[in-house]
Structure 1
Amino acid sequence: MRHSRILAAAVWVAVLGVAGFGAAYAVASWPTGTRRIAGEGPDATLVAAGRYVATASDCIACHTAPGGKPFAGGLAMETPIGRIFSTNITPDRETGIGAYSLDDFDRAIRHGIVPGGTTLFPAMPYPSYARLTDEDVRALYAFFMVGVEPVREAKRANEIAWPLSIRWPLALWRKAFAPGGAATFDPERYPDPQVARGAYIVQAAGHCGACHTPRTLTLQERALDETSPAYLAGGQVVDGWFAVSLRGEQAEGLGRWSAADIVATLRGGRNREHAVVGSPMNDVVVHSTQHLDDGDLKAIAAYLKTLVPGPSSATYMADRSTARDLANGRGAGRGAELYVDNCAACHRTDGLGVPGAFPTVAGNPTVLSPNAVTLVRLILDGSAMASTEIAPSNLGMPGFDWRLSDEEIAQLATFVRQSWGNAAQAVSTSFASDVRRALRHERSRDDRGVQRQATSP
């Protein structure tokens, strides 16, 4: 009798499991209807407008592989589920989007659905692009169909392990978390037209939240606009670099930055005290923001300055005692010794660097971030500033992984995070070791990719 009950319960569990799977598959497979937008002929004015929107959207950064043709895809993107390779978005009819109608293009851009109904991985930021206006989508379509050279380049297969490689569950994710047609941008929500324009660029074309807004365990952004304090609050590690908060925190965010500082950074990759670090944001400046007009850069800055501070784990209050101690040879501890030996020549004993050349480390949001991965990575591997039209010198910082142990890296990073008035959590030796190991894996993977390209027909 007992065995019969167990068997009956198992049968019911199996039936419910099959029914649940069937229901989920049915919901995922149910077609998504989208509103059609009216098209118009791709004249020169519309193509030029589309080129500007594509620049603001930084399409070329993700859809161009190193050494590849513009927009032909093939760039590898590391994601929590595996490596995704970007697609060819040139107007080649066989391997690109040349056969797309305006409606096909709109469904892919704003809804994440390609012809045939397959859902795109959200590495394509369609939750943000959902806020693009009809006019900008039409202009983008005109640019990609007329203003881009067609390139025959087949897409590389993604490197995602089964079962995460199964595509139909993505439709459930899209239907649950991507706003689609419900995300129409409303400029009337903002009392200032300049702030409204900045909000539109940041939320839609610029898709800033795709990197600078924290995500949940199911990988959707916690917020898509400023109605939530999570929006642009930082918290993602992108290609090994921590995306800092763009809100008003005094230590970890942009609270002590002026609007002019923000504009200068977006235009030239640096301002008098700070500089962009890491390849992801360097690409944004080089390919996108440096080419935007002054009015739009000022609008972005105006919008970002409206964002109130979020929770902060670090503080900064300028304190010159560290500078005095180092200048007089009184710096205590191994961290101070390492700073003087390896860092002070550029960043100075006062931690203020050289204006416009070497960034300050005192009160620097990257230094004070809740996740110290960028700081540790910089010490280990170095970095170079973006080379832009107004600031072409790509000044660089060397890496010190060849001469500093994991313990010394941790001691140096901790000293920097806790001196000159900086007050952030210490860095452990195990954390430094983890970052070093990740860097070695990254270099090995990149070397294999270069070898594979060299041997491909």
Structure 2
Amino acid sequence: MKKFLLVLLLIVVLVAGGIAWFATRKPVSPFDNVAAMQAPSEELLQRGEYVARLGDCVACHSTPKSAPFAGGLEMGTPLGSIFTTNITPDKETGIGAYTLADFDRAVRQGVARDGHRLYPAMPYPSYVKMSDDDIRALYAYFTGRVEAVRQPNKPSGIEWPLNMRWPLALWNAVFTEGGTYEQKAAGDDRWNRGAYLVQGPGHCGSCHTPRSITMAEKALDESSPLYLSGALLDGWYAPSLRGDPNTGLGRWTEDDIHAFLKNGRNGHAVVFGSMADAFNNSTQFMTDDDLKAISHYLKLLPGDPARDGTPWQYDEGAARNVALPAREQIPGAQTFMAKCSFCHGADGRGKQQWIPPLAGSAASLAKENASQINVTLNGSGRIVADGIPDAYRMPPFRQQLSDQQIADVLTFVRSSWGNRGGSVTADEVKSLRQHTDPASSSPIILQMR
């Protein structure tokens, strides 16, 4: 019996030691034996700045009150809040002591310079696909152009034992894929460039792909129909980017997608929520060639008719419901006419590209209602295109309307003009009212240099 217990103890020790070794070892980087970078050229610095725009690094690693890239943005997770880190070249609180290999491990493999694992809120499962050239340029930009800011990082709000980092090594081994993006013969050069941008630096799947109970994205590329099929994330619903005619991009042309990314608006929608930050700090700065490549790639992702249902068609019948005296008898109709119709129209069609339609919008047809509740409560951030703030924005109704009034008006919207997103309850509004902070609707518009 004693021999058996000793053998069992030895096995436990060996397994524990193996796990500990695996969890604490630093992954190999292709830059491990690269000499310290010389003073980067202006061309490399400019390319690095562009790659930082592609990755929208400034949106997460900044706050409206902080210097660019100094960190401190609170991000909600099921386990508790975490805060983004200082990635300015300050040697004590930032990444000033990082070598190119250290930087590469952090960005593409989720391992900090001291060996601790990063939470996958840092989208390294996507960034791993970035090319060596883009990583080299990004490092040159952060160490050679970004201004150093001394700002200590905030500890996470995740309590022990869930805050232990070593299990993330096992998570990475199971749920991430190694290797940079490789050209696929099935697509042309434009398709492959779009795939690289969407899957790699753009990390679109971080928001738009559903996650499993382990918080891993259920798919990382177009080989799965779940990739970019829509996901609920921290009080917002990121819609499908596939060819779904109701909840995705099925009714959009490539030009529509290009206009949305370039201008923040088109005839179908206007950016809001997290996408407003992505537009303000990232997509509007991309080249037309890159935007067209992204549009081309997304437009070729097929939809799922079984999930999306019969394509939406406009129903004129709602006009009767907003006419007097009928609207006085329909919950939400009177509130809609008083608070919403001036901008979105009594017919729900909006005002061309300036004010989005509610009739047939993805948010009105998706079963997830978080985005409509959130934007009704907190409004939308200001869209800033070419440095000019937009004159039109969704105002917050948090103080003007009760939970029941918001539930009623959204139920009306989601069941009118052919919409079939489903009803909204007062409890759902109450939950998001408590979860969201009005300050979070303020846009982060930052000059990166």
| Pair in the same fold by TM > 0.5 | yes
Q: Which residue of structure 2 aligns with residue 269 of structure 1?
A: 264
Question: Identity over aligned residues, as a percent?
Answer: 43
- Within 1, Cα distance between the matches of 2:14 and 2:247? 48
Structure-to-structure mapping, 1:37-436, within 5 angstroms = 41=38, 42-179=40-177, 182-238=178-234, 240-278=235-273, 280-310=274-304, 312=307, 316-327=312-323, 330-331=326-327, 333-389=330-386, 392-436=389-433
Q: Tell me, what secondary structure is at the counterpart of 2:52?
A: helix
Q: 1:333 to 1:21 in 2, by over 3 A?
A: farther
Contact 1:252 1:312 in 2 (8 A): no
C-alpha change, 1:433 and 1:92, in structure 2 (3 Å) is closer
Distance 1:375 1:103 in 2: 43
The SS at the match of 2:75 is strand
Cα distance in 1 for partners of 2:91, 2:410 equals 51
* Cα distance change of structure 1 residues 104 and 412 upon mapping to structure 2, 3 Å threshold: same
| Secondary structure class of the residue paired with 1:236 | strand
What secondary structure, in the 3-state scheme, does the structure 2 residue paired with 1:242 have? Answer: strand
The DSSP-based 3-state class of the residue aligned with 2:322 is helix
Q: TM-score, normalised by structure 1?
A: 0.87
Q: Distance in 1 between matches of 2:52 and 2:283?
A: 11
| Equivalent position SS for 1:183 | coil
2:241 aligns to what SS in structure 1? Answer: coil
User: SS of 2:233's equivalent?
Assistant: strand
Shift of the 401–116 alpha-carbon distance from structure 1 to 2, 3 Å rule, reads closer
Structure 1 residues 31 and 152: alpha-carbon distance in aligned structure 2, compared to 1, 3 A threshold: closer
The letter for the 1-side match of 2:424 is: V
Offset of residue 105 of structure 1: 1.1
Relative distance call for 1:390 and 1:319 in structure 2 (3 A) is farther
Q: 1:269, CA displacement in angstroms?
A: 1.4
Distance 1:356 1:405 in 2: 30
- Asked if structure 2 preserves the Cα contact closer than 8 Å seen for 1:368 and 1:422, the reply is yes
* One-letter identity of the residue aligned with 1:198: G
For structure 1, which segment, 329-338 or 269-278, has the greater mean C-alpha deviation from structure 2 after superposition? 329-338
Aligned CA distance change for structure 1 residues 417 and 10 (closer, same or farther; 3 Å): farther
Deviation at residue 390 of structure 1 after TM alignment: 8.1
C-alpha distance in structure 2 between counterparts of 1:384 and 1:60, whole Å: 16
Gaps of 5+ in 2: 442-449
Counterpart of 2:444 in structure 1 is none
**Contact 2:376 2:398 survives alignment (8 Å):** yes
Compute the displacement of 1:307 (Å).
0.8
- Asked if the contact 2:272–2:380 (Cα under 8 Å) also holds between the matched residues in 1, the reply is yes
Q: CA deviation at 1:127?
A: 0.6
Q: 1:190 touches 1:196 (CA, 8 Å); kept in 2?
A: no
- Cα displacement (A) at 1:359: 0.8
SS in 2 for 1:422: coil
Change (3 A) 1:14 1:374: farther
Structure with greater helix percent: 1
Give the deviation of 1:259 after TM superposition: 1.3
- Residue of structure 2 equivalent to 1:455: none
The worse-fitting range, judged by mean Cα deviation, of 209-218 and 183-192 is: 183-192
Give the C-alpha shift of residue 58 in structure 1.
Answer: 0.6
Question: Is the Cα–Cα contact under 8 Å of residues 48 and 141 in structure 2 kept in the other structure?
Answer: yes
Q: Which amino acid aligns with 2:370?
A: V
Distance 1:398 1:133 in 2: 41
* Deviation of 1:414 (Å): 1.3
Q: Is the 8 A contact 1:387 1:394 kept in 2?
A: no
| Aligned position for 2:447 | none
- TM-score, L = length of structure 2: 0.89
State the Cα deviation string for residues 84-125 of structure 1 (Å, max 9, x = none).
111111112222111211111111111111223211111111
Deviations 1:325-366 (A, max 9, x none): 535654451222222222111111111011122110011012
Considering Cα pairs closer than 8 Å and 6+ residues apart, tell me whether 1 or 2 has the greater RCO: 2
Q: Distance in 2 between matches of 1:102 and 1:126?
A: 16
Cα offset, 1:292, TM superposition:
0.7
Query: In 2 relative to 1, CA 347–149 (structure 1 residues): closer, same or farther, beyond 3 Å?
Result: same
Name the CA shift for 1:339/1:185 in 2 (closer, same or farther; >3 Å). same
Q: How many residues align?
A: 435
Pairwise CA distance, 1:246: 0.9
Alpha-carbon distance in structure 1 between the residues aligned to 2:9 and 2:356: 61
AA paired with 2:313?
A: M
Q: Cα 1:109–1:217, aligned 2, differ >3 Å: closer, same or farther?
A: same
In 1, the alpha carbon distance for the partners of 2:374 and 2:5 equals 51
State the Cα distance separating 1:48 from its structure 2 match.
Answer: 1.0
Query: Hey, what's the Cα distance between the residues in 2 that align with 1:31 and 1:393?
Result: 46
Q: 1:72 to 1:363 in 2, by over 3 A?
A: same
DSSP-derived class of the 2:385 partner: coil
Contact 2:382 2:389 in 1 (8 A): no
